[in-house]
Amino acid sequence: MAISKPCIEDVKVQKPSPLPETATEEEIISHIESIVASIANAVNERQFDPNTAPWTSVASEFSMPAIGFRGEAKSREDYVDGFKNLALPYPNFRIEPLKMESYVLLAVGYAEVYLTAQSSGGRTLPMGIKRKGIGRHEFRRVDGAWMNVNETSFLGIGDGVAVFEM
């Protein structure tokens, strides 16, 4: 079941908690989307302790191919370090989630969140320029918890490569 949100203002940034085995697809989607939104918020707030939420909802064996200025990640720590190295040198760097589309395959404990977002204030993004992209976050149910196990992002995809705001 896919749920599409035109904007994510109603997605709560919260500390993810385990869901009961009887959780519905809608409850799981709300839960995993809150994890993705919380990761963006943690980057924006410069909260990079991998032993705290939302990073504890990222699997220790997380994997991600090299994306833009973030190198390949083969663990939760690599994933967090990629964001830290991207954000800390650029105090104005921000990730702005715009839309999420998600689905769950309950029988096999698998789900995906497709996040459309834009970033600004980074290494190649001077103030006033925003780059859109789409990130695919894979989740698996691991020991009863929904864990983010992989991210694949496509930069410069959306309604345009750059948006100028003055």
Query: Beta-strand (E) ranges in the chain?
Result: 3-5, 58-63, 94-105, 110-120, 129-142, 145-155, 162-164
C-beta of residue 159 within 8 angstroms of C-beta of residue 132: yes
| Residue 2 or residue 79, greater confidence | 79
C-beta of residue 84 within 8 angstroms of C-beta of residue 48: yes
> Domains (ranges, CATH) in the chain?
3-164 (3.10.450.50)
pTM: 0.83
Give the mean pLDDT of 22-44.
Answer: 95
What are the tens digits of pLDDT across the range 81-120?
A: 999 998 999 999 999 999 999 999 999 999 999 999 999 9
